[in-house]
Structure 1
């Protein structure tokens, strides 16, 4: 069984653990009434990584630690700012399977072996408020690091950690840092003990891989050129895909949705910017991204549908809810959501998924750049956005000319997918095109939102009909299911009425002309 907690801390350089002349300053921090000494600790941690240090390269840490109050296996994953998520598992001789799964998007299944041993003599103090409530923990560590590789080098240093207590105000860290700086105590150069230990004890001979773009590399590095702009966006989405993997495996709220969106953004970027990245190399990646998004889609669609239908039932007056409607919906959701989550886990546990991640890494390490990658980003990216917009305009014209019914529902769904492509294309282009791209993206997003609500209504009506049939077979009243079906029909009609005005705003000629200047 693993446990998860959020860790927010900062590290500082201290010359000697014996020098505590700076401690009285911390009692003057707002919200801190006293600095309380705690018992010293002896900590012994062995850090695990792949031969090529894939975990540390992605800012993740896996260690087996003895000593202290939290002995066991710890997997630390980066969050925003000074925070990390720490996932703990009980002490065992080998890496727990649960933690192996959570590292897989980073390790790609490569073996994890000991790379560094770090022992620390820790002096612990608590910063408490007037009620004696812990606001932050302050630890001064005397650190000894030893490489567990062939070279076996050693290093030693002292450091100070200030870790925020749960529910404490993050502003406390700033206030503490201000006092420390006055005493000449600066932030540590390394973000973690592991990074510093690797820097000081591990000899690496790896050299940066040569680019195969057939140029001097400017198309990859120069932010004014199209290649650099597109690749920056691709890298960002690959990082998101990798980082979201552990959250999806643990069924965290909204994780599947975010990972699916990262897949779609990547697919859309590789499609929209074929003039920059050769489709001979990217089309297969796009197909695999479509596969992954599809496997995740069942779980995400179930989440959306359950939230929608349960909200509609809760909004009904009690006298209009006839029969065990809410209970039947919950039973239906448990069955479908369990199956769909297992489908997501099967996908993430497959070799096919790891091969996709490897292909994405290879794409950015050796990008298949075309001639336009070395051209001015504004012109190349604007042309790609306008091309996608033209496809959307055609879809919208076709859909709006159809009469309400199943054929129009399908056409509006196709228009929705085209709107997403335009919006994602504007995201790639925003650093180069600025406000015009942002404005177009915002207006197309409004169109996409209405089209999305319409499609959700189409899907919801299908589910409601199925639920009504099952309820009727069980001898339950069908009134409420019919009422909900009618509610969804009305929502779809409202979406169709809203759509023309929103499309007029998104299709204003002046909006597009500003992109092409």
Structure 2
């Protein structure tokens, strides 16, 4: 494995996102996130993933698709990520499978709004907005996306209903699975997580792996690639996650 440069990471991130126009102003980007999450024990090690792949036509129903095979793995230096998750006191966003966070650290620092899949089994739409001052409010462009969820309830309307509910500290080592031409097929993130629930200060720690398809990798062949990768990860001790998100696990009883 080799270390990956910051410029390479930035190019990879930009190709998977499209700009957003909010009231005539370009305010951020959005992308479809297709990932699978796994619970792992502290002693587990990410296995050798070179050679993981699927042949052409490996998609659902035997339809035509391009061959995808991992030729090499590029390892990022470990990064420290800090995120503050915002929700209503009754967790209306979480209940609707929506997450809203402000993250610092790593190559994708910023505000992130994740929306539920638009079709069953589909990926989640992830909206990014750049960081401002440390005490900045939730950006209006993101509030508009969740206005309907915030319009009812006894704890205020709109932005006044939102408050920090979870603080997340993550130590992440990203493994970039590249094909023979250097295109990223999958990113496998090895995360050590410490979550602090704001309401009562309860702390929970865990470790997980996330496998997210790279830019331009989707459809039946993307699913087939994740299936093949899952077999390799499970053999190394990974288990499909029992929770939909870090937020759900961090807030859970």
TM-score range for the pair, normalised by the shorter chain length: 0.7 to 0.9
CA distance in 2 between partners of 1:49 and 1:15 (Å): 29
The CA RMSD over aligned residues, in Å, is 1.4
Indicate the residue corresponding to 2:52 in structure 1: 29
Is it true that 1:192 corresponds to 2:245 in the alignment?
yes
Indicate the residue corresponding to 1:117 in structure 2: 167
CA distance in 2 between partners of 1:5 and 1:82 (Å): 13
Correspondence for 1:106 among 140, 143, 149? 149
Describe the superposition over 1:445-482 as per-residue Cα deviations: whole angstroms up to 9, x where unpaired: xxxxxxxxxxxxxxxxxxxxxxxxxxxxxxxxxxxxxx
**Contact conserved, 2:193 with 2:205, CA < 8 A, in 1?**
yes
The correspondence of residues 92-241 of structure 1 with structure 2, limited to 5 A, is: 92=132, 93-108=136-151, 109-110=157-158, 111-149=161-199, 151-168=200-217, 169-170=221-222, 171-200=224-253
Indicate the residue corresponding to 1:58 in structure 2: 96
The number of residue pairs the alignment matches comes to 196
Describe the superposition over 1:206-246 as per-residue Cα deviations: whole angstroms up to 9, x where unpaired: xxxxxxxxxxxxxxxxxxxxxxxxxxxxxxxxxxxxxxxxx
Q: Name the structure where strand makes up a greater proportion of residues.
A: 2
SS of the aligned residue for 2:180 comes to coil
The correspondence of residues 312-331 of structure 1 with structure 2, limited to 5 A, is: none
Say which structure, 1 or 2, has more relative contact order (CA 8 Å, 6+ apart): 2
1:28 deviates by 2.8
SS of the aligned residue for 1:195 comes to helix
**Contact conserved, 1:10 with 1:82, CA < 8 A, in 2?**
no
Uncovered stretches (5+) of structure 2, i.e. residues with no partner: 1-26, 54-68, 152-156
Indicate the residue corresponding to 1:19 in structure 2: 44
Indicate the residue corresponding to 2:80 in structure 1: 42
**Contact conserved, 2:47 with 2:232, CA < 8 A, in 1?**
no
CA distance in 2 between partners of 1:124 and 1:166 (Å): 16
CA distance in 2 between partners of 1:185 and 1:64 (Å): 28
CA distance in 1 between partners of 2:209 and 2:177 (Å): 14
Structure with bigger gyration radius: 1
1:182 deviates by 2.6
**Contact conserved, 1:7 with 1:83, CA < 8 A, in 2?**
yes
1:107 deviates by 1.7
Describe the superposition over 1:156-200 as per-residue Cα deviations: whole angstroms up to 9, x where unpaired: 000000010011141211110122223331111001100100114
The correspondence of residues 236-247 of structure 1 with structure 2, limited to 5 A, is: none
Structure 1: 4+ residue segments shifted above 3 A = none
SS of the aligned residue for 2:239 comes to coil
The correspondence of residues 471-482 of structure 1 with structure 2, limited to 5 A, is: none
Q: Name the structure where helix makes up a greater proportion of residues.
A: 1
CA distance in 1 between partners of 2:207 and 2:92 (Å): 26
1:82 deviates by 5.2
**Contact conserved, 1:14 with 1:159, CA < 8 A, in 2?**
yes
Correspondence for 2:123 among 65, 83, 87? 83
The correspondence of residues 330-341 of structure 1 with structure 2, limited to 5 A, is: none
**Contact conserved, 1:116 with 1:198, CA < 8 A, in 2?**
yes
SS of the aligned residue for 1:51 comes to coil
**Contact conserved, 1:8 with 1:164, CA < 8 A, in 2?**
yes
CA distance in 1 between partners of 2:208 and 2:95 (Å): 22
Correspondence for 1:9 among 35, 43, 57? 35
**Contact conserved, 2:174 with 2:189, CA < 8 A, in 1?**
yes
Indicate the residue corresponding to 1:350 in structure 2: none
Indicate the residue corresponding to 2:109 in structure 1: 71
Uncovered stretches (5+) of structure 1, i.e. residues with no partner: 201-517
